[in-house]
Structure 1
Amino acid sequence: MKISRIAQLGAVAAIAALTLAGCASNEGGAGAAPVSSDAPAGLSGTLTGSGATSQQVAIQSWTAEFQTTNPDVTVNYDPAGSGTGRESFGSGAVAFAGSDRAFKADEISAGPFDACAAGSDLVEIPAYVSPIAIVFTLDGVDSLDLDAATLAGIFAGTITTWNDPAIAATNSGVTLPSTAITPVHRSDKSGTTANFTDYLSANAETVWTYGSVEEWPVQGGEAAQGTSGVANAVKGGQGTIGYIDSSQAADFSAVSVKVGDEFVAHSPEGAATALDASPFDEGRADTDLAIKIDRTTTEAGAYPVMLVSYLIGCAEYKDAAAAELVKGFFTTAISESGQESAASNAGSAPISDSLREKATTAIDAIK
């Protein structure tokens, strides 16, 4: 999968909850995006989803575009976190989920998925590709170069001051104070946490011994709800460090991570390069496009601290009207204009044409 043109990172304020209705073509910002010729039209009704906070700005963009050709549709999306979104989808409380990880094979086997018809496969579309920025607040320091083992030590609580020799070793010439480090983590069940800890586990398993987990496993530090909560906690502190979707990282000092022999800053281009080095997960349904991210890539310019956030629905719904709305919304999200709108507003990396082709085939199967 080759991701080509990447839009410039834009700073957009986070939204606590999203409810967009009416004719979004009259709104500013995301509503000004051009409409894809493939976008469905003439739909009506209410579409409800829940899930990842990372996707909320992108979903605002997709909603505005979707409603331009479907003004009689209301889209409600609750950015309650990836875990909550998957649970709500499983219970049938929402028609689709946004999640920073795909369902695991054993979760799919166990079910239930109450919105889906009996025996239905899942549709999991990698619609939002974004770096996870590791951001910090430390007087007099604008950027840092850190390897995975040092990051793992910081978030595991074994490296406790900013002038620790491990930090100094990769930051020659930087004056590091003895300020205590306060790691900030998500308090909610989070796909961003899962992706961040997956990176730590893959690259520094002897230091980060907790594996890839959605719920923070370490006592201490500071906990905050959602992406915006972590961002606010890091910004409001001193000596703080946390991990957030890059859509909310424009005003922060940030870490460049070691990849091969270089240090790479977070960027859509870096996330795209890491994705390009990653294969699809095997053994899944044709409509399930889960990707196994290669966290240990040494590809030049790759930024492997990144997430692929999915739109998740049923291949076959119990409710045909819900199926039409999900199909239309997912089609809008992966369209070229939908991806460019999300890139402009959220700093994500547009998916490649080849991935769009596979996603279109999966979405066309929804009924």
Structure 2
Amino acid sequence: MRNWRAKTAAIAAVSALALVTACSSDNEEEGTGGSGGSGSSDLSGTISGAGASSQEAAQGAWQAGFQSANPDVTVDYDPVGSGGGREQFVAGGVAFAGSDAYLTDEEGELSGAVERCGDLIEVPVYVSPIAVIFNLEGVDSLNMSAETIAGIFNQEITTWNDEAIAADNPGVELPDTPITPVNRSDESGTTENFAEYLAAAAPDAWPHEVDGNWPVAGGEAAQGTSGVVSAVSGGNGTIGYADASQAGDLGTVAVGVGEEFVPYSPEAAAAVLEVSERVEGRGEYDFAYDLARDTTEAGAYPIVLVSYGLACTTYDDANTAELVREYFTYILSEEGQQAAAEAAGSAPLSAELSAEYQAAVDAIAAG
């Protein structure tokens, strides 16, 4: 059903976009794409990307919409994970990448990307809550503070009727079932975002360095977002973390923020981005953010994933440059963001942010 809605939304968006483009062709140069996405009908060729598995559903919607408008274009995306996508992008193996964490130089990724690209383009394309998912017979939702979540994943809270869980869930009958935490086995931007939240919001309960690799041994590990969801679904007493679009029918946690417990939603996730600041000292077209993980802002959901699109300002091949520029233009457009929201439950970027990021995408050209 989700795939059907995604394709329907994408086709509808492209139909509307084609009408706008036809009406305004006298005022725009062919291939600029305008503010509503790609308007080019003569594009052809193939571009490949790789990266965050959290973007998989959104990328499917973007591919459907963009390729419907440009039937001679093929866009491939391998949801190999953020770490793998960044590695392939820096090495020049793919034209673009998706990453759930912005590039740093801890492993030479940022400098490597700049060496490849000249000016790196790094823009948020997908904003979504990370859901704390669980499978506990008879329980559909729970409230948890940051300290409780950290204690569970640090394996210090080990049964579901622990007093720390019970205190925030009066009236809920909690069994003495053992808790089985499930984490990602692969290097993951989802893991890094989740760990950043734990370290910022519950530093005493989470004494681990933030990294894309899970730091606590002894739990159950699974490959990729789908692997974590499958492992949690297949057990009783299991708990994990995954992009909210993949939560399905599993139980989910409302997170303590200030004096309230906030369930995940696209709107609550977007609220965190609005109170966060851009990382200093980056390139002109690099829009990396230090997210306000420890916010007490009412209605904000702090376990949020801001997934980036990575591209170069300069490509050796002119056709590749044009395809990447037009594809990213569609992704950032109102139609593209709405297609992702329909397919994956993500939070659409505001018109102001999209326009700011579009200025970076417009810089893509052949060298």
Give TM-score, length-normalised by structure 2: 0.90
For 1:321 and 1:194, locate their aligned partners in 2 and report how far apart those are by CA, in whole Å: 35
Q: Which runs of 5+ in 1 are unaligned?
A: 1-9, 14-26
Q: Which amino acid aligns with 2:111?
A: A
1:237 equivalent in alignment to 2:235: yes
**Which deviates the most, 207-216 or 31-40?**
31-40
Q: Which amino acid aligns with 2:59?
A: I
Partner of 1:163: 161
In the TM superposition, residue 283 of structure 1 has moved relative to its aligned partner by: 1.2
Q: Which amino acid aligns with 1:111?
A: G
For 2:109 and 2:183, locate their aligned partners in 1 and report how far apart those are by CA, in whole Å: 28
Q: Deviations over 1:20-63 (max 9, x none)?
A: xxxxxxx9445423123431412111100000011011111111
Query: Pairwise mapping of residues 182-331 of structure 1 onto structure 2 (< 5 A)?
Result: 182-331=180-329
In the TM superposition, residue 250 of structure 1 has moved relative to its aligned partner by: 3.1
In structure 2, the CA distance between the partners of 1:191 and 1:169, relative to structure 1 (3 Å rule), is: same
1:33 equivalent in alignment to 2:12: yes
1:124–1:288: 8 Å Cα contact kept in structure 2? yes
For 2:176 and 2:110, locate their aligned partners in 1 and report how far apart those are by CA, in whole Å: 50
Q: Which runs of 5+ in 2 are unaligned?
A: 22-33
For 1:288 and 1:92, locate their aligned partners in 2 and report how far apart those are by CA, in whole Å: 18
For 1:265 and 1:258, locate their aligned partners in 2 and report how far apart those are by CA, in whole Å: 9
Q: Which amino acid aligns with 1:184?
A: V
1:91–1:114: 8 Å Cα contact kept in structure 2? no
1:43 equivalent in alignment to 2:43: yes
1:11–1:250: 8 Å Cα contact kept in structure 2? no
**Which deviates the most, 267-276 or 317-326?**
317-326
Partner of 2:98: 98
**Which deviates the most, 357-366 or 243-252?**
243-252
Structure 1 residue matching 2:66: 3-state secondary structure: helix
1:136–1:254: 8 Å Cα contact kept in structure 2? yes
1:55–1:98: 8 Å Cα contact kept in structure 2? yes
In the TM superposition, residue 211 of structure 1 has moved relative to its aligned partner by: 2.5
In structure 2, the CA distance between the partners of 1:11 and 1:164, relative to structure 1 (3 Å rule), is: farther
In the TM superposition, residue 141 of structure 1 has moved relative to its aligned partner by: 1.1
2:134–2:237: 8 Å Cα contact kept in structure 1? yes
Partner of 1:83: 83
2:129–2:269: 8 Å Cα contact kept in structure 1? yes
For 1:109 and 1:241, locate their aligned partners in 2 and report how far apart those are by CA, in whole Å: 33
User: In angstroms, what is the RMSD of aligned CA positions?
Assistant: 1.7
Bigger share in helix: 2
Q: Deviations over 1:185-212 (max 9, x none)?
A: 1111110001000000001111111132
For 2:266 and 2:110, locate their aligned partners in 1 and report how far apart those are by CA, in whole Å: 34
Paired residues, what number? 342
Q: Deviations over 1:118-154 (max 9, x none)?
A: xx01001101000001010001111110001110010
Structure 2 residue matching 1:309: 3-state secondary structure: strand
Q: Which amino acid aligns with 1:316?
A: T
Identity of aligned residues (%): 55
Give TM-score, length-normalised by structure 1: 0.90
Partner of 1:142: 140
Structure 2 residue matching 1:195: 3-state secondary structure: helix
In the TM superposition, residue 183 of structure 1 has moved relative to its aligned partner by: 0.4
For 1:193 and 1:128, locate their aligned partners in 2 and report how far apart those are by CA, in whole Å: 16
In structure 2, the CA distance between the partners of 1:66 and 1:233, relative to structure 1 (3 Å rule), is: same
Q: Deviations over 1:310-364 (max 9, x none)?
A: 1101111222221111101100000000000110111000001110111110000
Q: Which amino acid aligns with 1:127?
A: V
For 1:352 and 1:55, locate their aligned partners in 2 and report how far apart those are by CA, in whole Å: 19
For 2:232 and 2:8, locate their aligned partners in 1 and report how far apart those are by CA, in whole Å: 27
